[in-house]
């Protein structure tokens, strides 16, 4: 059965897409977008906690707020380690926290699978030659710039993997 889409879902998707677009355009993920996503999750969690029948289960289960916070902290720690080794930018590492919050503990495996698929498609898009009739489009010119600089906007891949994993989440965000 199709569930109605909440205001929180629409706003979170728009904020994630804004972060991805910003990363694609300038290799920067705005702190305001990350903080807005965290704040949006906090408000949504407070509403869910206020309407929960079993507060303990809503707080401490893997499918509840505890699992979401655990996933966010785990992904943030992973992003921080990748940033320390110079494999990630700081914005990508920060973006992992709200991604974990919205994907949740039970969505970590689908997120990882979609992240792998997105990485493979990105690698192919950057390795395969682009047809000349598309060379004048701004999107293709930006891909050429990314290709020559060898700096990958990982936030784009992360956001689309997160949105796919969020779509599979049974109780929404």
What's the pLDDT score for residue 169? 80
What's the pLDDT score for residue 144? 78
pLDDT, one tens digit for every residue, the chain (173 residues):
456 668 888 999 999 999 999 998 898 999 999 999 999 999 999 888 888 777 776 777 777 889 999 999 999 999 999 999 999 899 999 999 999 999 999 999 999 999 999 999 988 888 877 777 766 777 777 777 778 888 888 999 999 999 999 999 876 55
Whether the CB-CB separation of 82 and 93 falls below 8 Å is answered with yes
What's the pLDDT score for residue 1? 47
Going from N- to C-terminal start, the domains of the chain cover 7-168
Q: Which residue blocks in 1-89 are alpha helix, DSSP H?
A: 7-26, 31-50, 55-60, 65-84
pTM of the model: 0.87
């Amino acid at each position: 059965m199709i569930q109605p889409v909440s205001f929180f879902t629409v706003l979170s998707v728009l904020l994630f897409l804004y972060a991805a677009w910003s990363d694609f355009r300038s290799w920067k993920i705005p702190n305001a977008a990350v903080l807005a996503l965290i704040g949006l999750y906090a408000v949504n969690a407070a509403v869910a906690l206020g309407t929960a029948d079993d507060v303990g289960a809503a707080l401490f289960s893997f499918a509840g707020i505890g699992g979401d916070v655990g996933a966010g902290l785990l992904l943030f720690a992973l992003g921080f380690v990748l940033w320390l080794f110079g494999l990630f930018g700081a914005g990508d590492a920060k973006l992992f926290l709200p991604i974990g919050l919205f994907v949740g503990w039970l969505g970590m495996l689908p997120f990882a699978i979609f992240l792998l698929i997105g990485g493979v498609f990105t690698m192919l898009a950057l390795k395969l030659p682009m047809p000349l009739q598309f060379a004048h489009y701004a999107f293709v010119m930006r891909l050429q710039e990314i290709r020559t600089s060898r700096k990958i906007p990982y936030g784009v891949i992360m956001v689309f993997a997160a949105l796919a994993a969020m779509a599979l989440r049974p109780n929404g965000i």
